[in-house]
Each structure stands twice: as structure tokens, then as C-alpha cells.
Amino acid sequence: MSYLLGVVLFAAAILISVSLHEAGHMLTAKAFGMKVTRYFVGFGPTLWSFKRGETEYGIKGIPLGGFCKIVGMTPQDDDVEPGDEKRAMWRYPVWKRTIVMSAGSITHFALALVTLWFIAISAGLPNPKFPSTEAQFRAEPAVIGLAECVVVENVSRPCQAGDPASPAATAQLKTGDRITAVNGQAVATWGDMLDVVRATKPGPATVDYVRDGAPATATVDLAAVQRPPLDDPKGATSSVSALGVALRPSTPALVQYGPGAAFGATADFTGNMAVQTAHAMQRIPQKVPALWTAVTGGERDMDTPISVVGASRLGGEAVENSAWLVFFMLFVSLNFFIGVFNLLPLLPLDGGHIAIAWFERVRSWLYARLRRPDPGRVDYLKLMPITYAVILIGGVFTLLTVTADVVNPITLFSR
């Protein structure tokens, strides 16, 4: 039940975000005097609507987005009534049209930033000094955090009935203890400890550790588990020993900020997220074969793109596991990605309309400097083949990601 609740909550959050996106277009257009005739949440048949002034507001039957109708977006539009010619959007200065067309993405960015600020002062944002690579994790001191059990098979899941107890916990080791030697072989880092433990036969082993500055020794009955090589996580598994502990990094994973400091932390985190989003978008074409592999029965790559369906499923998993920080960080990431993606200079995206508006403005300026007649507005009808191609590619990609998220979804938690 909590999983379904999470799916519904995340889907509703996405719908609200998209509705606010369209509201951003509508409100800025109205502020500049442009005529907005319709604002609807959803698509398909109208369930309910009312008219206030010159705008009809309502809800449609398919809750997969929303739209607002601004009169005269292009010179080729024939929706301008007599007397409204001056209010057609394409007649307004380019800077006003830019604000209106970018207002949707700005709304997504605002939602992401506000959510991040609240996360920073409540749960905390990811610590930039926290280890992020395998090499950094291996270089950490061998300070342990006790696990509740040992999962014998090579899967990531919570403890279940029948799982062996953590050998370290059974031997009275505690979270925060720093391992210094195993069977007399000194270890200085977490990587050293993993290497030595795995090379030791399952069964009794002597573990030296330091607790609160005082050295001590314990006899631990190492468990036998199935694991792949440390340097090849996707390699063949073999039987190795396990201590039943996890790394307790020397730096916290999250840093909580005060209201003032949270602004700077939010800005820094957003900058890093912008870089990661740019890299992720560059890798999308490379990930299409991996998506096809997932659809046709192969293993799903965790780094492949996800659709709204996949994001909602992850939101459901987060709620099911009471991982609300994951839920809200998913919301932030999705809004930021949508905001950036929508500004790409391609029709029919908002970024395509912005690019054309500024192309017209620059071209008119150049022609004026060359004392040549203004070439006028771009004919959108001539760009329709490119627009249809973008829609077709986007539709196929969306269908592929949705299919992958249905038949072979990415999971963050074992269910």
C-alpha cells in the first residue's frame, strides 16, 4: 500500500510541476498583455472548466501534462481574431517573448531550488567531501558500522529470516570501532581490510581494533558469502569471507545548514547538478542500445534514462522504505532535467521558439547594418519537417524508456 501511495504522490508531484510550468507561460504572457484563451491541466476530453475574462480554465481527462493557448505564437498562426492583432505573441519584443517562453523552465528551476533549500535546512544536502569513488572509499580508515546480518548470496536486500547474524556483532564489536589487524596482518584502510578479510578462510579469526582510543582484540567467526571480485563488480562470484560490517566514512554523508548558509549550499549543489545534467544529456544517445537490451530481456543498466513511469516507481520505492530524502531528491532532479531539456534549441520545445526569436532579431540587426531590407519573420511552416522529426525521435525514445521502466525497471531498494 505504501508503495502505491508513493507512486501516486510522485506522479501527482510531476503533474503539479507541469501544470505550474504552463502557469508560468500564462502568467507572464498575461502580464505583458498577450491574449491567453485557454489553460488546462491534462489532455483529452474536458471534465470541468470555467471561463474568467477571456481565458477558459479547466481539467481534462488524461492527467499527463497540461497546456495554455497564447494567441499568435507564430506569424503563421490563424487564431488571431479581428481587433487582437496587436496582442499576437509574435508581434511583441523579443525579450518579452523570451521571458514568456522560458517561464516554464524557470518554474521548474524554482521548484527545484526551493525544495533543495528546505532539504538543506532539514535533512541536509550531500557532503561534497564524502567519498564518491571506489578509490576514495578504499582509502578511508577501516572504521566499521555493524550490519544486522550477512546476506550470503550476491544481492542487495534487507535482512530476512534465516540470514546469518553479523559475525562482528556476535563478537561484540561496535559501530565506530577501527579495525587495525586481522589474524595479525595489519590493515590501515578500508580497502586493506576488505582484501585481508576476503583472503582469510571462513571461520574463527582474530581481529584487532581500537575503541575510544583503547586497543582490543576479538575472535570473530567469519561468514562464507558469494561475492564478485572487488575490482570487477559484474564478474563471476566465488566464496569469500565476510565480517558483517559496512564502512563508516570519516565524513558525514549529509550536511545540514542554517537558513542563511542553505542559500549558498543550494547554489553550489545546483551548479554541480547542472554539470551532471549536461553530462547525462550528452550520454543519452549512447544509452539507447542499453535501453533496447533492457527491453529485450538483458540486464538494466542503472545509468540508463528513465521515464515519468520509472521516476514514479522509484518514488513509490522511496516511500515504501521511508526514504523521503530520496523521494524529494528525485523530485528535484526531475524538475531540473525537465527545465534544462525544455530549453534545448529544438522545435517544438520552448528553447526552439526562443532560438528562432533571437535568430530573427540578430538577422534583422545584421541586415540593417548592411543597409539591406529586413527579411522579416521565419516561416515556421518550412521548419515543420524538422519539427516532425524531433517529435518522432522524442516519441520513439519516450516509448522505449516507458517500456523499459515497465518490463525491466530500475530499482533502488530490494522489495
Catalytic residues: 22
Gap between the terminal Cα atoms of the chain: 13
Instruction: Report angle CA 175, 180, 181 to the nearest 5 degrees.
Output: 115
Residues 6+ apart with CB under 8 A from 330: 10, 311, 314, 315, 318
C-alpha separations of 82 from 30, 76, 93 in Å: 19, 15, 21
Instruction: Report angle CA 245, 129, 263 to the nearest 5 degrees.
Output: 125
Q: Which helix (H) or strand (E) is 190 found in, with range? A: helix 190-199
- Beta-carbon neighbour count of residue 151 at 10 Å? 20
Instruction: Report angle CA 142, 253, 107 to the nearest 5 degrees.
Output: 160
CA dihedral 76, 77, 78, 80 (to 10 degrees): -120
Give the C-alpha separation, 355 to 79, whole Å. 23
CA 18 to chain centre: 16
Give the C-alpha separation, 137 to 142, whole Å. 10
CA 355 to chain centre: 26
57: which 3 cell numbers?
Answer: 480554465
Give the C-alpha separation, 355 to 177, whole Å. 59
Residues 6+ apart with CB under 8 A from 383: 347, 356
Give the C-alpha separation, 41 to 19, whole Å. 6
DSSP string, 347-413: TTSHHHHHHHHHHHHHHHHHHHHTT-----S--GGGGHHHHHHHHHHHHHHHHHHHHHHHHS---SS
